[in-house]
Amino acid sequence: MDEAKLHAFMGKLVSDMGAAGLLANVMVGDELGLYKAMADSQPITPEVLASRTGCNARLLREWLSAHVASGYMEHHDGQFVLPEEQALALAIEDSPVYAAGGVMVVVSMFHDKDKLVAAMRGDGALAWGDHHPCMFSGTERFFRPGYKAYLVDQWLPALDGVVDKLKAGARVADIGCGHGASTIVMAQAFPASNFVGFDYHAPSIVTASQRAAEAGVSDRVRFVEGRAKDFPGQDYDLICYFDCLHDMGDPVGAAKHAHQALKNDGTILLVEPFANDTLDLNINPVGRLFYAASTFICTPNSLSQEVGLGLGAQAGEARLRQVFTDAGFSHFRRACETPFNLILEARK
């Protein structure tokens, strides 16, 4: 036994336990609007925060202190500050680094622990729709800021000729659309085009339709319950998968269906979690987060469907290329990337 290694690991473990404990506090702060009440980054006492939010001052003092001990807040002379940078991540939903939604996804894993234990002991299946509801809204809130920041300005322009088609008026399908954040961002940017979002999770389709109505784009955006392997429609100019292909049981079957539904000169936009091609190359903070989520969410969802390929969230470009090659596509390339996403293009 190497005592130095033991000490180093215990330090890491205590730090991770602190992080997990703090995330439960982040969830509380998010739900109660505490970060939003501190988003101006002005010093505040627990008592003033209590009067602003209607919460208990003594508990708030403890909650604030937990944030200081974690480096999420600062304190001076009995006052607490949510620094501007932390406010961007925790309070300001439109900021490109807003991450509170991601915390909700992590919290959902704790809620769903018993279901994962059962899946581990059984056939490995845990369907998307069987998760705690905070996973659905958390996913929407985690991904939407990235779509707003990058989809129209960087990802679509990185595809061959797609922006010109969208400007002129294109037919677009967004498969596995969830709450429709990506579909609506595209619809707002390209008023001449028509969009349909498909997802096999019926409650997500209801929410997505509400979002489209709130955004005032219902005339050009429809959300329809449907599966990746047999959604209706033909002659799409663009078929998109945002962070969902690896969740599917039969991604090759899904890509084959897209192949026949796409126009001959059409494009597949595949947005997947950022990953390198091997575990050794994914040992970094992003890989750590995505493998953990993939164990609870992506892989058991795939195992709950036919074929059950179980790509996992860290499949990597080479494995994804194989899926599209097997489905009959002859072009496949990395169009661009962000720290969290690979943006891939497939064509017939």
Q: Which residues lie near ligand SAM (CB under 6 A)?
A: 128, 139-140, 143, 176-178, 181-182, 199-201, 204, 227-228, 242-244, 247-248, 301, 305
Q: Which residue is nearest to ligand SAM (CB)?
A: 178
Distance CA 125, CA 111 (A): 17
Q: Please identify, using beta-carbon distances, which residue of 139 and 282 lies nearer to ligand SAM.
A: 139
Q: Please identify, using beta-carbon distances, which residue of 32 and 289 lies nearer to ligand SAM.
A: 289
Q: Please identify, using beta-carbon distances, which residue of 197 and 316 lies nearer to ligand SAM.
A: 197
Q: Please identify, using beta-carbon distances, which residue of 176 and 316 lies nearer to ligand SAM.
A: 176
Q: Please identify, using beta-carbon distances, which residue of 46 and 253 lies nearer to ligand SAM.
A: 253
Q: Please identify, using beta-carbon distances, which residue of 49 and 244 lies nearer to ligand SAM.
A: 244
Residue 17, number of CB atoms within 10 A of its CB: 10
Task: Give me the least distance between CB of 280 and ligand SAM, in Å please.
Answer: 25
Task: Give me the least distance between CB of 108 and ligand SAM, in Å please.
Answer: 12
CA 275 to chain centre: 14
Q: Which residues of 275-295 are buried (b: 16+ CB within 10 A; e: fewer)?
A: bbeeeeebeeebbebbbebbb
Distance CA 178, CA 98 (A): 19
Q: Please identify, using beta-carbon distances, which residue of 74 and 225 lies nearer to ligand SAM.
A: 225
Task: Give me the least distance between CB of 129 and ligand SAM, in Å please.
Answer: 7
Q: Please identify, using beta-carbon distances, which residue of 267 and 302 lies nearer to ligand SAM.
A: 302
CB 101, CB 140: distance < 8 Å? yes
Q: Please identify, using beta-carbon distances, which residue of 73 and 172 lies nearer to ligand SAM.
A: 172
Task: Give me the least distance between CB of 197 and ligand SAM, in Å please.
Answer: 8
Task: Give me the least distance between CB of 110 and ligand SAM, in Å please.
Answer: 18
Task: Give me the least distance between CB of 313 and ligand SAM, in Å please.
Answer: 9
Distance CA 51, CA 100 (A): 24
* Structure tokens belonging to residue 238: 């663009």
Looking at residue 348, its amino acid is K
Task: Give me the least distance between CB of 348 and ligand SAM, in Å please.
Answer: 21
Task: Give me the least distance between CB of 234 and ligand SAM, in Å please.
Answer: 18
Task: Give me the least distance between CB of 304 and ligand SAM, in Å please.
Answer: 9
Strand pairing category for 171-175 and 236-242:
parallel
